[in-house]
Amino acid sequence: MTPVSFHILYEDPEFIAIHKPSGILVHRTRISEDTVFVLQLLRDQVGHHVFPVHRLDRMTSGVLIFGKNKEAAGSLSELFREQKIEKKYLAVVRGHLPVKGIINYDLARSPDHQKQTALTHYCTLDQTEIPHAISRYPTSRYSLMEVMPKTGRFHQIRKHFAHLRHPVIGDRPHGDCKHNKYLREKLGISTMLLHAQSFSFIHPHTQKRVIIESELDNSFLEALKTLNLHFKEVD
């Protein structure tokens, strides 16, 4: 197996942030059969242990931050819990949405857990309509969204857009299986189109603002090209 080397987006004495490609788990889970994970690969790459601050789903790409020690990881994790991290994601969803909106819909990790407040802001960057009849309509519509989750619940972005009936493209458990299958088999779009674009926060010790940004994977860029979606400035 070819050694994996992650692109380091930011590093200081306490934290290190990388670009996480789509398709790899952050760490081992009880139900996963994977044998490689970001946590161990990054440890081998930098030569010391790293400690997770937050997580990204297997198929989500983008900014992923670790502490270089437990104390550093704990201090940044606290900022996440206190909603003091400004997060921006990019997502392609089915259908057309308003220019701006807020999704305020409580979520629970499982039916046995009490629901928790979950809040997501979004704005539409671009929209497209392609001449492919995937469901009952003669054409298919998609939107490129900038998404700003204000809370950090499990699968929050994916569940929130599914709640609006505008699921993220490539999302299996919460998405549209007909669209996912067609885009995968006919247009070659096989990845989930969700990307952690930037994280911004006040450094717990230096008190200076840190902005960490990550570029899109080639597979995401190719999907945008195929769907004729482009970035646009939003007022």
Alpha carbon 18 to chain centroid, angstroms? 14
**How deeply is 30 buried, as exposed, middle or buried, from its count of CB atoms within 10 A (0-12, 13-18, 19+)?**
exposed
Q: 62: Cβ–Cβ under 8 A, 6 or more apart, which residues?
A: 19, 20, 56, 89, 195, 196, 197, 214
Pairwise CA distance, residues 73 & 5, whole Å = 22
Q: What is the pLDDT of residue 35?
A: 63
Q: What is the pLDDT of residue 234?
A: 45
Tokens (6 digits) for 169: 């493209």
Domain boundaries, the chain: 8-227
Residue labelled with tokens 């699968």: 155
Compute the residue count for the chain. 235
Rounded average pLDDT per 10-residue block, the chain, 235 residues: 78 97 81 74 94 93 97 96 96 97 90 85 97 90 97 94 97 92 95 97 96 96 96 54
Torsion angles phi and psi, residue 22, rounded to 5: -70, 145
How far lies 220's CA from each of 2, 80, 153, 170, in Å?
23, 26, 24, 11
| Topology of the domain covering 8-227 | Pseudouridine synthase (3.30.2350)
Q: What is the pLDDT of residue 45?
A: 95
Pairwise CA distance, residues 96 & 124, whole Å = 9
CB atoms inside a 10 Å sphere around CB 191: 21
Q: Is 79 helix (H, G, I), strand (E, B) or coil?
A: helix
Pairwise CA distance, residues 18 & 6, whole Å = 6
Q: What is the pLDDT of residue 1?
A: 42
Pairwise CA distance, residues 172 & 192, whole Å = 8
Q: What is the pLDDT of residue 136?
A: 84
Determine contact, residues 170/192, Cβ cutoff 8 Å.
Answer: yes
Show the DSSP H helices in the chain as ranges: 38-46, 70-81, 156-163, 177-187, 218-227
User: Annotated catalytic residue: which of 12, 44, 57, 217?
Assistant: 57
| 12 belongs to the catalytic site | no
